[in-house]
Amino acid sequence: MQDQFYIREGSLIARIAAWKLGAARVAIVIGKTVHLYNTPATVFLADERWVKHEQCHIAQFKQYGFFRFIMLYLWESLRSGYYNNKYEVEARKAEAAS
């Protein structure tokens, strides 16, 4: 069973992430909340792969702890870039998990 999570539509945090990533729409996890930009919760929840990706990030927050995971994620992004960040790689793999 997956952990419960919350959704925040129209999030400023997600808007900033979209700008930084040059993406039209974004979901970004902070703790147990999925922050959405330019996509409604209904569209997000209908996309099973996207939900699994973000649930993986929620599990990573739980595994490493809130502040520690943020620091690890940022360090990994600086070191390897967003796409090759090992936490993003793990989340992409989770998309295909049954």
In the predicted structure, residue 94 carries a pLDDT above the cut 70: yes
Flag whether 56 is in a domain.
yes
Flag whether 19 is in a domain.
yes
Averaged pLDDT, 63-71: 98
Flag whether 17 is in a domain.
yes
Averaged pLDDT, 17-34: 96
Averaged pLDDT, 48-72: 97
Q: Is the Cα torsion angle 77, 66, 31, 50 positive or negative in sign? A: positive
Q: What is the rounded end-to-end Cα distance, in angstroms, of the chain?
A: 12
Flag whether 11 is in a domain.
yes
Enter the pTM of the model: 0.93
Which pLDDT score, from 0 to 100, does residue 1 have? 46
CA dist list (Å): 48 to 28, 30, 45, 61, 68: 16, 19, 7, 20, 28
In the predicted structure, residue 29 carries a pLDDT above the cut 50: yes
Flag whether 62 is in a domain.
yes
Number of domains in the chain: 1
- Report phi then psi at 7, rounded to 5: -125, 135
- Report phi then psi at 17, rounded to 5: -65, -40
Distance, C-alpha 47 to centroid of its chain: 14
Question: Who has greater pLDDT, 3 or 95?
Answer: 95
Averaged pLDDT, 43-58: 97
Flag whether 68 is in a domain.
yes
Which range marks the domain in which residue 51 is found? 6-95
Q: Which residues make Cβ contacts (< 8 Å) with residue 92, sequence separation at least 6?
A: 53
Flag whether 1 is in a domain.
no
97 pLDDT tier (thresholds 50, 70, 90): confident
